[in-house]
Each structure stands twice: as structure tokens, then as C-alpha cells.
Amino acid sequence: MIMSVHARLLLSLLAALFVASPVLALAADTRAAERSEQEFCRLDTNKDREISYEEFASCEFYRLEHVKKLPFVDLGAFPKDKNGKVSEEDLKRHLFDRADTNKNGKIDRKEWEEFYNSVTEQY
């Protein structure tokens, strides 16, 4: 069977994409891991390789205005203050507790990576 130039070109492009896909995925995973590590290091202000609640809560990103935009945060599930509003503290505590999967009061590197990946996948 004789293939046209266009068909050969198309097959070549598809083969290149097939070969390149794992490489591109690995590069994307590497960039995500680097961003996760950078954020972890930024939050770990005392450099003990764990993030305490105080370190986490002091980060500007976890303020109410940002947190309420996260798709997995259901504001209806939080207790309201006397004005019928969700407190920033409750939202921060919810996110911290979600990240602190072993419930020891600190977020280690593994917990952070899992939390960070879940947030960035959803956001």
C-alpha cells in the first residue's frame, strides 16, 4: 500500500506525540513537585521541615477571600458567627486539618504534597 505524504506526516506526528507524552507528563509532574516544595519551604518559616498551624494560618493565601474560591470548600458546612458569616479561622482550621492527615498537629512534607496536589488539581 502506498501512503500519501500527508498520511506519513500524520503518522510521524502521532508517533512523536506517543513518545513525547510520557516525557511531557514527567516534566509537568516535576514542575508541580517543585512548586509544592517551594510553597512548603515558604510556609515552614522556622525550617523544622513541618508546618505548624500558626505557620499555615499566617499565610495570606489561606485568608477567607481566597479559600472560599476553592471548589472543595463548602461554606454551608461551617458554623456561622453571630452575623451569619463563616469565620476565617474556621476555614483555615478546616484546610489545616484536611492536610494534617495523621492528626499530630503538624503537616509534614508527604502530607503537604498530597494536600497541595489535591488543591491544585481542583483549583
Q: What is the pLDDT of residues 11-59, one digit of tens each?
A: 555 555 555 445 444 445 678 788 889 989 999 999 999 999 999 988 8
Does the global pTM surpass 0.85?
no
State the total domains in the chain.
1
Domain that holds residue 111: 5-122
Q: List, in sequence order, every residue forming a beta bridge with 80; answer none if it has no partner.
A: 86
- Per residue in 52-83, pLDDT (tens digit) is 999 998 887 767 777 777 776 677 777 777 88
Q: What is the CATH number of the domain that holds 48?
A: 1.10.238.10
Residues 86, 82: Cα–Cα separation, whole Å: 10
Q: Express the helix, strand and coil content of the chain in percent, nearest 5 each.
A: 65, 5, 30
